[in-house]
């Protein structure tokens, strides 16, 4: 049963991260995902300190709020004349350090340790279950990440055309009356919520891998946005499952192995993708050169 819960959690994390990650990658905002995943830490800790529990809801709200603050601050600094990558670097490290200080200063004797925050502990998901009216409902993480995934699927399928146009051509989107800023912050809220829901399982650092790596792989494999999203989710799930078995084989970190597999898949796609693949491109060039030589003779 434990295995099943871990696999389910891993796949849900992979699916929800890959989904919103597609839009981050296409909008060239992959590093914003990185920033959010780190800077939500103080939000989580503050929510934890205020509510006194590791209940998912206050944490989710606290982190989502800080996630939006992060995006807002980055934009503010950028508009104020700071280079955008420097603005990202400044904002997320500053907020992350606030989070680290809060964790180390106030939560030493409580069950919220730094290792867990940074690296996640997906192996223990099945120990932390919810029960309502005496009925066991399964691990909390499954519910948290499941709700995040549901929210993502709901928002993106409902407003697919808006998200697509805002990603491809924000000027036209604004010209035809789509509230571009609203959809920008909606996407950022989804990223924050997904990140927070996932961080308990895979940690604040590796969640970025799930946000960025499967979408980047899918980007190499297709030329349609719809398919890119589907491939991205599928690749994420495959990475989660294969990563789990690799981890039990090597007796290593599960989350680490999951992202490791995702990374390996990316390298494979980079080499062998039919359209972008380095290998095929070389092969085609060689064939072309050969044909050329034959013609010359």
Residues that bind another protein (CB under 8 A): 26, 28, 158-162, 164-165, 167-169, 171-178, 219, 222-225, 227-228
C-beta closer to another protein: residue 195 or 216: 216
For the bound state, the minimum distance from the C-beta of residue 292 to another protein, rounded and expressed in Å, comes to 22
Nearest to another protein of 21, 120 (CB atom):
21
- Smallest distance from another protein to CB 28, Å: 8
Nearest to 138 by CA among 4, 29, 34: 4
- Closer by beta carbon to another protein, 227 or else 286: 227
Find residue 139's DSSP bridge partners: 129
Joined tokens for residue 240: 């989660």
Judging by DSSP bridges, how do beta strands 129-132 and 135-139 pair with one another? antiparallel
Indicate the residue among 173 and 212 with the shorter CB distance to another protein: 173
The answer for residues whose C-beta is within 8 angstroms of residue 274's C-beta and 6 or more apart is 221, 280
- In whole angstroms, the minimum distance from the beta carbon of 31 to another protein comes to 16
Q: Minimum distance between the CB of residue 88 and another protein, rounded to whole angstroms?
A: 19
Shortest distance in whole angstroms from residue 171 CB to another protein: 5
- Give the number of other CB atoms < 10 A from CB of residue 261: 22
- Supply the DSSP string of 69-120, one letter for each residue: HHHHHHHHHHHTT--HHHHHHHHHHHHHHHHHHHHHHH-TTTT--HHHHHH-
Closest to another protein by CB, 224 or 293: 224
Q: Given the complex with another protein, which of 119 and 231 has the nearer CB atom?
A: 231
What residues contact residue 141 under an 8 Å CB cut-off, 6+ apart? 9, 122, 125, 128, 197, 200, 201
Q: How far is the CB of 163 from another protein (least distance, A)?
A: 11
Q: What contacts 242, CB < 8 A, 6 or more positions away?
A: 261
Tokens of residue 161, six digits:
């055309």
């Amino acid at each position: 049963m434990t295995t099943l819960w871990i696999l389910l959690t891993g796949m849900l994390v992979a699916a929800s991260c890959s989904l919103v990650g597609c839009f981050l990658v296409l909008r060239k905002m992959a590093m914003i995902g990185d920033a959010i995943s780190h800077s939500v830490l103080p939000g989580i800790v503050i929510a934890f300190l205020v509510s006194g529990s590791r209940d998912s809801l206050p944490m989710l709200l606290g982190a989502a709020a800080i996630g939006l603050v992060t995006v807002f601050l980055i934009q503010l600094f950028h508009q104020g004349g700071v280079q955008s990558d420097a603005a990202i670097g400044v904002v997320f490290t500053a907020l992350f350090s606030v989070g680290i200080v809060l964790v180390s200063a106030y939560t030493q004797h409580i069950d919220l340790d730094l290792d867990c925050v940074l690296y996640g502990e997906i192996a223990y998901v099945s120990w932390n279950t919810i029960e309502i009216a005496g009925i066991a409902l399964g691990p909390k993480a499954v519910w948290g990440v499941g709700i995040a995934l549901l929210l993502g699927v709901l928002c993106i399928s409902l407003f697919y055309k808006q998200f697509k146009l805002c990603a491809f051509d924000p000027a036209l989107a604004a010209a035809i009356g789509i509230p571009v800023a609203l959809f920008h912050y909606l996407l950022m809220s989804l990223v924050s919520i997904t990140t927070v829901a996932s961080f308990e399982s895979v940690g604040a650092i590796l969640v970025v891998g799930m946000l960025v790596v499967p979408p980047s792989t899918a980007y190499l494999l297709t030329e349609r946005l719809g398919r890119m999203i589907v491939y991205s989710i599928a690749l994420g799930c495959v990475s989660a499952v294969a990563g789990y078995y690799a981890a039990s084989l090597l007796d290593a970190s599960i989350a680490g192995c999951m992202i490791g597999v995702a990374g390996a898949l990316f390298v494979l796609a980079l080499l062998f993708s039919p359209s972008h693949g380095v290998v095929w491109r070389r092969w085609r060039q060689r064939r072309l050169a050969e044909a050329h030589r034959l013609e010359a003779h």
